[in-house]
Structures are given as C-alpha cells and as structure tokens.
Structure 1
Amino acid sequence: MEINNLRKEYTNGEITVVWESAKCIHSAKCARGLPQVFQPKEKPWIKMDGANSDEIVAAVSKCPSGALSIK
C-alpha cells in the first residue's frame, strides 16, 4: 500500500474505526466533534478509550469524506 493510501484500524474491543488516508479531506470534523478521541497531532491519532462506542459511532458518521468508517 502506498503512503498516500494508508488504511489503519483502531479498536476498543467492541467497535473498530477504519481510517483511509486517500479519502481524508482534513475537514477536522472528527477532531472538533470528539477531541478526546480524535487527536491528529498525536500518534496513534485515534484514542479509542476517550469515549464510549456510541459517541465514537456518532462522530464517525459525521465524516464528510467517508475516510472514517466503523466495522
């Protein structure tokens, strides 16, 4: 997989957030909506223990590009 098309998965044991870099338009809706989970300046940038699964699903559903999804 090339650097411009990374796919990363983050799990809390209940849900898994999938991030696809090629789709990301950097709107930052995730970081503004749930900053305790989505921290783009950190590594890893998604902290699954920062909120409950329902809150994470709600934030991911607002991703305008579809770069974030739940599986």
Structure 2
Amino acid sequence: MDHWIEKGYRKYEGEHIDVYFSVDVCEHAANCVKGNPNVFDTKRKPWILADAAPADEVARVIDTCPSGALQYIRKGE
C-alpha cells in the first residue's frame, strides 16, 4: 500500500506525478492556491488537478507547503 495513503493522505493521481493531501495536517497557509490556482483550486471538485501543470511546477508549489499537508511522488523515478 502507498506510504502516504497509510498516513491518512488522499491521493490525486496524475500522469507524471501523484499528489497527496492531508486535511488533518493542513495549516491553511494557502501557498498552494496562490502558487498555482490551475492545479490547486478549493472551489473545484476535485480541488487538485495534478495534470493541470507540468510535474516540475506541481512539485515546486508543493515544496512551498509549510505544514507538509501536500506531498508528491513522481512517476517513473
């Protein structure tokens, strides 16, 4: 089983990157929605679209998450 799923994260699957989110860890700093609203949009369902930007851009935004509520695993690495 997936490491992040075991820790209670929800998976948002993309072609080149899978994004994981934990509402229990989130501090609502909003770095994600400010960093790339095409990928992260809380008004949309699902609110994370992993393929809405290149994998490098998705990873860059997730790396700015101060709480660790967002994680990722790149595919093929």
Shorter-chain-normalised TM-score: which range?
Answer: 0.7 to 0.9
2:13 corresponds to which of 7, 11, 28: 11
Q: Percent identity?
A: 39
TM-score of the aligned structures, taking structure 1 as reference length: 0.86
Where do 5+ consecutive residues of structure 1 fail to align? 1-5
Question: Aligned residues, how many?
Answer: 67
Unaligned segments of structure 2, at least 5 residues: 1-7
- 8 Å contact kept, 2:15–2:51: no
Counterpart for residue 29 of structure 1: 31
In 2, Cα distance between the equivalents of 1:49 and 1:70? 13
Relative to the length of structure 2, the TM-score reads: 0.79
Please give the root-mean-square deviation of Cα atoms over the aligned residues, in Å.
1.5
Runs (4+) of structure 1 exceeding 6 A deviation are none
- Structure 1 counterpart of 2:68: 66
Structure holding more helix per residue: 1
